[in-house]
């Protein structure tokens, strides 16, 4: 009498020989889900601002709140454009931001090159002192700065908004210095062998290689000056010298505010910067990532 061997059931195996298990959720899917939720949460205030500019005043605070207006109108934009000289304010903000950005890029690049390449006495301590200024809030230095601007006769002029930030940018110096330290020294040594001096080496070798961090720093500086409200509020008195943030602030009253006009004015202020950031976000990320590769 023959007996057949007992058959045992084996669990299905994968190609690698291990038991087949439920495939885990890809970690990138969870990451993208979190990022999408965060992006929607951050975009909601901008969407509310934009759609509120097309609402009548009665709809903005009507419960329950609605994102899209029931009655679309342009009264908010008409009031905003008629109640303030946005053309002059746009020109003031643009030329102040552009001037500060261009001069700040040049001075920051020169100072960063000196800290990264020129060996002089007290370089390390001076650089630490430079960085220490980033820890001091601007509100603490506004009184002595106001006294200095008053002594120079720059109160109610755009020079008070251009000269200090254009000549001194500790963050810009730190950002560019980190990147310069990652550039091979052999490139500059080869230029010196060919007879190039320090200035020519900086202009022809180092400066062209700083295109990525300079782009990122330029965008940061321009955005900071475009959205600057505190310093123009302190130093400017005449309406003709006002920048866009000050003009937008005129639509906010002490007891009541024209909210459709305020939302429309804020939209006009934010739209150029949102468009700029949409086109330059890659340069911002690359500039910050590459500049932090060396210490």
Q: Are residues 110 and 186 in the same domain?
A: yes
CA–CA separation, 5 vs 10, rounded Å?
15
Residue 61 structural domain = 27-73
- What's the number of domains the chain is made of? 2
User: Domain with 109 in it: what CATH number?
Assistant: 1.10.3720.10
Widest CA span in the chain: 118
Q: pLDDT tens digit string along 201-223? A: 888 888 888 888 888 888 888 88
Query: Does a structural domain hold residue 1?
Result: no
Predicted pLDDT of residue 19: 52
Q: pLDDT tens digit string along 267-279? A: 888 888 878 777 7
Predicted pLDDT of residue 67: 81
Q: Which residues pair with 13 in a beta bridge?
A: 19
pTM above 0.85, yes or no: no
Q: Are residues 161 and 44 in the same domain?
A: no
Backbone angles phi, psi at 155, to 5 degrees: -70, 140
Backbone angles phi, psi at 213, to 5 degrees: -65, -30
CA end-to-end span of the chain: 83
Residue 101: closest CA among 43, 183, 162 = 162
Q: Are residues 49 and 161 in the same domain?
A: no
């Amino acid at each position: 009498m023959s007996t057949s061997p007992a058959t045992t059931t084996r669990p299905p195996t994968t190609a690698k020989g291990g038991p087949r298990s439920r495939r885990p959720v890809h970690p990138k899917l969870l990451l993208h889900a979190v990022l999408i939720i965060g992006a929607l949460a951050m975009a909601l205030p901008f969407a509310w601002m934009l759609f509120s500019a097309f609402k009548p005043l009665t709809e903005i605070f009507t419960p329950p709140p609605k994102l899209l207006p029931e009655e679309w109108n342009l009264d908010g934009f008409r009031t905003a454009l008629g109640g303030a000289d946005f053309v002059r304010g746009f020109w003031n903000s643009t030329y102040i931001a552009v001037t500060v950005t261009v001069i700040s890029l040049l001075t920051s690049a020169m100072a960063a090159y000196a800290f990264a390449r020129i060996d002089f006495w007290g370089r390390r301590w001076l650089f630490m002192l430079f960085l220490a200024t980033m820890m001091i809030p601007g509100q603490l230095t506004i009184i002595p700065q106001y006294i200095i601007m008053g002594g120079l006769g720059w109160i109610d002029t755009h020079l008070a908004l251009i000269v200090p930030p254009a000549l001194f940018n500790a963050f810009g110096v730190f950002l560019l210095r980190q990147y310069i330290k990652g550039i091979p020294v052999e490139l500059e040594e080869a230029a010196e062998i060919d007879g190039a001096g320090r200035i020519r080496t900086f202009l022809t070798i180092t400066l062209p290689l700083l295109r990525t961090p300079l782009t990122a720093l330029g965008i940061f500086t321009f955005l900071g000056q475009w959205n600057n409200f505190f310093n123009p509020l302190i130093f400017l008195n005449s309406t003709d010298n006002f920048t866009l943030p000050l003009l937008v602030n005129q639509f906010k009253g002490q007891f009541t505010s024209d909210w459709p006009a305020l939302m429309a004015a804020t939209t006009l202020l934010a739209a150029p910067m949102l468009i700029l950031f949409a086109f330059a976000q890659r340069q911002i990320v690359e500039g910050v990532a590459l500049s932090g590769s060396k210490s």
